[in-house]
Every structure is written in C-alpha cells, then in structure tokens.
Homo-oligomer: A and B are copies of this chain.
Amino acid sequence: MSKPLRVGLIGLGTVASGVAQILLRHRDRTRERAGRDVEITRVAVRDLSKSRDVEIPSDILTTDAMSVATAADVDVVIELIGGISPAKELVEAALNHGKDVVTANKALLCEHGDTLFALARETGRCIAFEAAVAGGCPIIAAMSQSMTGNQITSLAAILNGTSNFILTQMLHNDASYDDAVQEAQECGYAEADPSMDVKGTDAAQKLGILTQLAFGERISPDQFPVQGIDELELEDLHFADELGYAVKLLATAKLVNGHLELHTQPTLIRKERPLAQVDGPYNMIEITGDAVGKAWFSAMGAGQMATASAVVADIIDVAVGRAAITFPHLNLWQTEEKFQLQKSEDIERRYYFRFHVEDRPHVIADIADVLGRNGISLSSVMQKEAQIESPKAGEPPVVPLVFMTHNATEGQLRAAAIELDSLDCVQPPWLCLPVSDDQA
C-alpha cells in the first residue's frame, strides 16, 4: 500500500463539508478505491468558531488559507471557496509548491484557466475539475476519456440547476418568476443574490469550459449571446407548452458549416427531446460525436452531495495517478486555433416573440411589418383574448401576442429590436427567445 494522500481543504462550506463527510465516514471504501489512505490534514475556514455538520479536529483548522495551499503535509489542495480572488492566488501557490489541485470553481477556470493550466503543466502537476461543470454528471471524464474516439460536433446542455428548478416550479405550480426564485432560495438551490444563476452567467462559464474540452477553443461568455431566465413570464412557459415546446436555459456549442456557434439562452425545445424532459435542479448534457452519435448525461446539477461526489472522484483520480495521466492530454487552454467562432450577428435560428400589445386594429400589421422589413418571416401567430388588464383607465386593453418565426439571423433580430422598441402599440418589455429545432 502506498503512502496516504494528504488532502488540504480550502473552504468548509456546503460542498466541502460534503467532501469531508465522505472522506471521514467512508475511509475504508475510499482506501479501497484509491489504493491508499486519503487523509484530511489541513482545513482552511473563515470562522474557527462556526458550528458545522462535520467533525474536523480543531488542531487542523486554520483561517490562513495560504498556509494550507503551501503546507508540507499536503499533497493535493481542494479549492472550494469559489470566486476569482483569492482562489487564483491559492491555486497558483499550491501548484508552485508541488501540489495537485482539485477545484469546483468554474468562474476561475473560465477566466484564468489558460494561466492556471499552463502553470500546472510547467510544474508537472494536475488540475482536476469534474465538479466545476454539471455537479453529479461526470461530463469532464466523459469528454476527456470516453469520447476520445470522436470529434464532438455539438453540445446542448442544461448546466444551471437553479434556473431549471425555477422554470420547473413556474410551469408546474403556476408560480410567478419571483415566487419561484423565492422557493429556490428556501430550498437552498439559489443564493440570496441569484444573479449568476438566473442571468445565465454560471451556465455560460460552464459552457466555456466544455467548449475548451470539445473544440479546443477558449471563448469567453462576452463573445457569444448570453440571456437569463429573469426576463421570462409564466405565460411564456404556457405559450411554449401550447406550441409543443419546453423552455430551458440551454447552453449550446456546435459546429455549423465549420464555424463554432455558441449561445446560452432560454430556448424553446421540442417536448419529445430528452433535454425538454429534465425537471427540477437537474442538469443534462446532450453530446453529439461523429462516431458515437448522441449521448446524454444527467444528474443533480447542484447540491451538497452531488458536487461532493464529483470532488471525491477527482481526489481518488489524483490518488491513483489517473489525473496525472489525463491532465496533460486534455490540451486545454492551448491556442492552436482550429474552429472560428461564428459571429453573433450571423447565428441563424428560429425565434419566439412575445409582446404585450394594445388590443386595437393594425397592431399585428405594425409588428409584422417591422419583422418583415428586417427579413424575419413569420411561421405562426397566436393571439389570446384579453386577459391582461389595461394599465391605465381609458386606454385599450392589453393582450399577449406570440409570433414564431422562420430562420432569421441574430443580426436581423437586433435590427428589428430597435424598431420594435419604438413601436407605440408594444408595451415594454417584450421578449424574444431562440427556438431549437434539433431533433432528439
């Protein structure tokens, strides 16, 4: 039996406590799978006096995170504090001190992955990050090992469990967006400030990481369309449902005519597709490879133990030496350009438009005229009888109006948007979502 693997935990929040629980309560099982003991030797916390649901001996607790990152009795540093700084400095220090690193920090990897991965290669260490994307779905292992016989041609994924929980609650419980967010917070799925989740940032960062693995390209979220679920009304989910679609916050990266097309947006997905059927705080990744065809991976996308499970798998991969082999072959964050990013304005899709309009003559004509002059052709129109009350007495009632379009480019859409904003008959805000017509 080899020497024990000595683990330094940085952070002891929800996920880290889960990791500690598994390692402490299942020591024998972990030893069997790792081929050696896995011991927690140091733990950095913010507050020594805080009570926790896992028992850590007080003599290995410290508030000095850097001392854990650089400690002589630590072989692998588990960074679970999130955010960019001081996480970046701690990971750099760990690598420079000859430690391997396990992290669940997608923001850090998305923004500074290139620097950190280069440093790991220089120092001959590895960074394992299964837990950074899609919680309990082993998507990093799948892409970096199991799909190596393929060129991946498409990724379509639900990568934010919080948003998916909110959308599910809205539709199933006839709840408003605000009520659903509150419920997500009460269930522990959403932070007090849910912006990173509901505005699509979190999913877009994860898509950035997967895009690196699948296509070898470093693309940051400001280079492609990112739209959150916070613009959606409950009625949009109902309209989509009537039209045969579910609305999911869909992160997409795919090859289209040799160009790489990326976007992370609430998207109408045909109900028959597996992606449309994922409810609650779950994630699903649909991968298409040129050999395997389509494959699906689904599991809890957030939550203490699902993410802890991924972190522990990474720790065991480090312990048995698999991570040291896998990491150098990932070719992550290297800069041979192979696929050119499709310009946002050239991305071509169908769209769903929802307006609240005054219930008076010529409104449909006015809007259709704007769309038509911008080259956007309608495939269907749905107008419901007035349910929404007029905002002001004496004014005509307001009704929802839904258009589905044929293929149009994002550029055409943006040009039309400027005109739509200035139409008197349209109550702001109106909504436009892309439609995915990919088949299951």
Residue ranges of A at the interface with B (Cβ–Cβ < 8 Å):
18, 22, 26, 29-30, 32-35, 130, 136-138, 141-142, 145-151, 274, 277, 284, 289, 291-300, 303, 305-306, 308-313, 316-317, 320-322, 325-326, 328-329, 331
Q: Could you list 9 examples of A-B contacts with CB < 8 Å?
A: A35-B329, A141-B145, A148-B312, A149-B316, A284-B296, A292-B300, A292-B306, A293-B299, A322-B325
Tell whether, in the assembled complex, residue B298 and residue A295 are in contact, meaning their CB atoms are under 8 Å apart. Answer: yes
Contact among B138, B295, B325 for A325, CB-based, below 8 A: B325
Contact among B284, B305, B331 for A292, CB-based, below 8 A: B305
Tell whether, in the assembled complex, residue B145 and residue A317 are in contact, meaning their CB atoms are under 8 Å apart. Answer: yes
Residues of B within 8 A of A18 (CB): 291
A142 to B137, CA, bound (A): 9
Residues of B within 8 A of A331 (CB): 32
Distance (Å) between the CB of A365 and the closest chain B CB?
42
Given contacts A32-B331, A320-B325, are A292 and B296 in contact (CB under 8 A)? no
Distance (Å) between the CB of A63 and the closest chain B CB?
27
What does DSSP make chain A's interface, helix, strand, loop or mixed? Answer: helix
Tell whether, in the assembled complex, residue B277 and residue A291 are in contact, meaning their CB atoms are under 8 Å apart. Answer: no
A329 to B34, CA, bound (A): 7
Tell whether, in the assembled complex, residue A33 and residue B148 are in contact, meaning their CB atoms are under 8 Å apart. Answer: yes
Tell whether, in the assembled complex, residue A291 and residue B274 are in contact, meaning their CB atoms are under 8 Å apart. Answer: no
Distance (Å) between the CB of A303 and the closest chain B CB?
8
Contact among B35, B297, B309, B321 for A297, CB-based, below 8 A: B297
Given contacts A274-B298, A321-B325, are A313 and B136 in contact (CB under 8 A)? no
Residues of B within 8 A of A29 (CB): 151
Tell whether, in the assembled complex, residue A146 and residue B150 are in contact, meaning their CB atoms are under 8 Å apart. Answer: no
A33 to B144, CA, bound (A): 9
Distance (Å) between the CB of A230 and the closest chain B CB?
27
Contact among B26, B141, B296 for A142, CB-based, below 8 A: B141
Nearest to A284 among chain B residues (CB) is B296
A305 to B317, CA, bound (A): 29
Nearest to A29 among chain B residues (CB) is B151
Residues of B within 8 A of A311 (CB): 149
Contact among B149, B309, B329 for A150, CB-based, below 8 A: B309
Given contacts A146-B141, A149-B313, are A292 and B322 in contact (CB under 8 A)? no
Nearest to A306 among chain B residues (CB) is B292
Nearest to A322 among chain B residues (CB) is B325
Tell whether, in the assembled complex, residue A295 and residue B136 are in contact, meaning their CB atoms are under 8 Å apart. Answer: yes
Distance (Å) between the CB of A434 and the closest chain B CB?
24
Residues of B within 8 A of A320 (CB): 325-326, 329
Distance (Å) between the CB of A126 and the closest chain B CB?
13
Residues of B within 8 A of A308 (CB): 149, 291
A33 to B420, CA, bound (A): 49
Tell whether, in the assembled complex, residue B309 and residue A149 are in contact, meaning their CB atoms are under 8 Å apart. Answer: yes
